[in-house]
Amino acid sequence: MKIELTAEQKMLQSEFKEFTDLEIEPYASLIDKEEYIPKDLINKLKSNGYLGSMIPKEFGGMGLDNVSIAILNEEIGRACSSVRSLLTVHGMVALAILRWGNEKQKRELLPKFASGEIIGAFALSEAEAGSDASSIQTEATSKDNMIILNGRKKWITMGQIANVYLVFSKYDGEPTAFLVKENASGFSRKPINGLIGLRGSMTAELFFENCEINSSSIIGRKGLGLSHVALNCLDYGRFTIASGCVGIAQSCLERSISYSYKRKQFGQELIENQLVQRMITGMVVDIEAARLLCYQAAFLKDTLDPESIMKTWIAKYFSSKMVNRVANDAVQIHGANGCSDSYPLERYMRDAKINEIIEGTTQLHEVLIGRNA
């Protein structure tokens, strides 16, 4: 089997790389330090159509195939995982509407998601419910023609700036997904700062205190929130995170090679040291393997192969472990410089750890893959 990008995919790769190098890379360190993505950068993502990369053209999106989506997330992830995380959670909500929303929801919301007029955030995790999503405590009850939400969500990526949240709650004891707008009565949010990594992902805690939403806000049907809606969203999230991990690792490799040719120790360049060569070799092989796993998962998604879910688990599991190995070696090659924020390696290392946790920890994936192998 020959794996090769098409001419269109190569063209998009060049476009994504140029955008990342020009518009994201110069500001990545500042985004990390200020824990905020500038509005101007978000507007550029909108104007380039990237927030609609996963949305079909009929709704105003780019309608990219999944290999191209993998490339986009790798390239943006190469510079800034926080910016990449915006594409992930926004896409998770948009695809939930596309797959499980009714026609009115699709026609009304998807064009706004595609243009970036609406920013979406995925609200599943709670203080006591992370990998075990079935233990969510947020409750929904009916009152007249309204639904009343009570509970809290935590660690919500882009929670500080989202306009619409895909919120998972128990509704008459059954897990159900709802769309909640930022201006809903009884809704509030609080920034979460000081994370070890992805500091610019504008994470928030959400509060629902007798929050009133319309009964038409349900996505899918009552009882399908976790088994159908969340599963579909998390599959996309894991896929894009895996591709983003490849991007971080690629940047670690490129900077390590450059540094090892410039840095001299004991009268010779670092690249002449066989132990450094071994670390770089490990990086090259790990990155190539992870990228191919992501492309394989993407191809299977594009061909609607049911094996794509398992392959996405494998890609996320391998890529998130891989990027931590690569980032660790990159810091090691850079020595004390790798521990300084004058170089981006320490940020890559911090971001890598977060990527091993979000959308399913390494241990959760070991259970999923082991049970279904």
Q: List residues with catalytic annotation.
A: 359
Run of H or E including 209: strand 204-214
Q: CA distances (Å), 119 to each of 35, 44, 266, in order?
A: 18, 14, 53
Is the separation of the CB atoms in 277 and 261 below 8 Å?
Answer: no
Of residues 103, 246, 100, 114, the one with CA closest to residue 166:
100
Is the separation of the CB atoms in 66 and 301 below 8 Å?
Answer: yes
CA–CA separation, 97 and 121 (whole Å) = 12
Is the separation of the CB atoms in 326 and 287 below 8 Å?
Answer: yes
CA–CA separation, 371 and 64 (whole Å) = 32
Beta strands 187-191 and 204-214: pairing type?
antiparallel
CA–CA separation, 73 and 210 (whole Å) = 37
Cβ–Cβ contacts within 10 Å for residue 263, how many?
15
For 199, list phi and psi in degrees, rounded to 5.
Answer: -70, -20
Is the separation of the CB atoms in 178 and 140 below 8 Å?
Answer: yes
For 64, list phi and psi in degrees, rounded to 5.
Answer: -70, 145
Alpha-helix runs per DSSP H in the chain? 7-19, 28-34, 39-47, 66-79, 81-100, 103-115, 231-262, 274-302, 308-334, 345-355, 362-372
At 351, is the secondary structure helix, strand, or coil? helix
DSSP state, residue 117: S
Beta strands 146-156 and 264-265: pairing type?
unpaired
